[in-house]
């Protein structure tokens, strides 16, 4: 599933932070993900505006800045998103993004 997948720099930061919380050694982790085909995307000013605009529509579902950054990347690029967070199902926001829940 990672080959050709993209991740926002914001979401990469969150993944690293969560890994550190679990005492995972993150040294070399980025290269390992690159080797399986993951593509890292910068968080652009346009995506920042999209993410901010999603706040009023998603605050009641508890979506974080990183969650909204992921959605913003998808909206900006016209892509679908993959998440393990069931709170994203049926967001009811004015967003044309396909959400695939993986668990």
For residue range 2-61, list pLDDT tens digits in order.
788 999 999 999 999 999 999 999 999 999 999 999 999 999 999 999 999 999 988 888
The span from the CA of 62 to the CA of 38, in Å, is: 27
Inside any domain, residue 93: yes
Total domains, the chain: 1
Average pLDDT over residues 85-91: 79
Inside any domain, residue 1: no
Domain range holding 61?
A: 6-101
User: Is pLDDT at 93 greater than 70 in this prediction?
Assistant: no
The span from the CA of 18 to the CA of 84, in Å, is: 14
Inside any domain, residue 63: yes
CATH code, domain carrying 92: 3.40.50.1010
- Asked if 80 and 74 count as a contact pair (C-beta separation under 8 A), the reply is yes
Specify the pTM.
Answer: 0.87
User: Is pLDDT at 1 greater than 80 in this prediction?
Assistant: no
- Asked if 14 and 31 count as a contact pair (C-beta separation under 8 A), the reply is no
The span from the CA of 46 to the CA of 64, in Å, is: 18
Average pLDDT over residues 60-72: 92
- Secondary structure percentages of the chain, helix, strand, coil, to 5: 50, 10, 35
Inside any domain, residue 37: yes
pLDDT number for residue 94: 62
């Amino acid at each position: 599933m990672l080959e050709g997948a993209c991740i926002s720099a914001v979401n990469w930061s969150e993944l690293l932070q969560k890994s550190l919380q679990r005492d995972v050694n993150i040294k070399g982790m980025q290269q390992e993900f690159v080797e399986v085909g993951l593509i890292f995307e910068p968080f652009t000013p346009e995506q920042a505006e999209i993410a901010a605009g999603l706040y009023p529509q998603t605050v009641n579902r508890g979506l974080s800045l990183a969650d909204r950054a992921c959605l913003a990347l998808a909206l900006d690029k016209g892509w679908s998103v993959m998440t393990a967070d069931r709170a994203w199902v049926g967001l009811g926001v004015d967003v044309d993004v396909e959400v695939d829940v993986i668990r």
